[in-house]
Amino acid sequence: MSLQICDIFSFHVNGKRIDCRFKNPYCTIDFAKFCRQLNSKNKANFLKASVINIEQGELFKVFTSNGSFLSKYVVDATGYRASIAKLLKRCYVHNDALSFGIETEVPYRTKDFHFFYEPSFIKDGVAWLFPCGEFSRFGVASYKGETKLLDKLDLFLQRYNLKRQKVHGGFFCYCFKEPVVENVFVVGCAQGQTLPLTGEGIRRCIFFGIKCGEIIQRILDRRINLNEGINEYSNLALKARRDFNFLLAAQNRLLKMSDISIFRETLS
């Protein structure tokens, strides 16, 4: 499943390279294949529809583009939009705390994960190069949600004499929010499970998604009640706040720095 495993993250700052070896290695995966395999184990009915509204009564009533559904338990896993939580709590989504990134996969082999912090090249953002076997993923992101990044991606690729292929990307939020809103469980980027600074989220969103599913299963099996389940999920999700805040502070600090001061701070 994994395409390449690396334990070195290289930070490129002001033309210099700083290598950090991680205790636990990271890997790149074929995300589409991973999702297909995961879903093949899923015995639930899958319906592709947009959630439009939700009403609270004895049961939740969820209105979608493909009919309405009654349910005792609802999970909002709609990414940065938090489409359900924001219907129940106005101001749940912070549109001023969104990063935006794009990425392309091109034929290029390298060994390590690379992050580039160069304000004079990409202001308020980061560029990265992640190896995945015969290919590498080149990406750029803005911590301020700037969406016009194609030129930056092209310039980044030009450094390696490469041309952009198919591009994908979007917003991800850096706002840590309450894990349960009006008895709706909020999972993934919707709750703030994508990390600031690095934008890493897949591993964490899957971890919390599985934990949330297990808790709801125990509620369904009457081994715990709803309140116990809500407390358990909330406590688990809120434990991540410390690491989240650490990375957010680093991201905010980075936004205030020039190329030179970043380099000095990174070395100190």
Ligand X SMILES: Cc1cc2nc3c(=O)[nH]c(=O)nc-3n(C[C@H](O)[C@H](O)[C@H](O)COP(=O)(O)OP(=O)(O)OC[C@H]3O[C@@H](n4cnc5c(N)ncnc54)[C@H](O)[C@@H]3O)c2cc1C
- Residues lying near ligand X in the complex (CB under 6 A) are found at 50-51, 77-79, 81, 83, 101-103, 130, 139, 169-170, 172, 188-190, 194, 199-203, 205
What's the token pair of residue 256?
């205030």
Q: Which residue number places its CB atom closest to ligand X?
A: 201
CA dihedral 152→154→157→158, nearest 10 degrees, is -110
CB of 52 vs ligand X, minimal distance in Å: 7
Which residue number, 76 or 263, has a Cβ lying nearer to ligand X? 76
In whole angstroms, how close is the CB of 38 to ligand X at the nearest point? 12
Work out the angle at residue 139's Cα, subtended by the Cα atoms of residues 135 and 143, and round it to the nearest 5 degrees.
160
Residues, the chain? 268
The distance of closest approach from Cβ of residue 158 to ligand X in the complex, given in angstroms and rounded to an integer, is: 19
Q: CB of 139: closest distance to ligand X in angstroms?
A: 5
Nearer to ligand X, 149 or 219 (CB): 149
Token pair belonging to 178: 């309450």
Which one, 79 or 183, has the nearer CB to ligand X? Answer: 79
CB distance 231 to 212 below 8 Å: no
Nearer to ligand X, 29 or 238 (CB): 29
Least Cβ distance, residue 29 to ligand X (angstroms): 9
Q: How far apart are CA 192 and CA 94, in angstroms?
A: 11
The answer to whether the beta carbons of residues 100 and 141 sit under 8 Å apart is: yes
Cα(120)–Cα(128) distance, integer angstroms: 15
Q: Where are the beta strands (DSSP E) in 14-153?
A: 16-29, 51-56, 60-64, 67-71, 75-76, 98-107, 113-117, 125-132, 135-142
- In the bound complex, what is the minimum distance in angstroms from residue 203's beta carbon to ligand X? 6
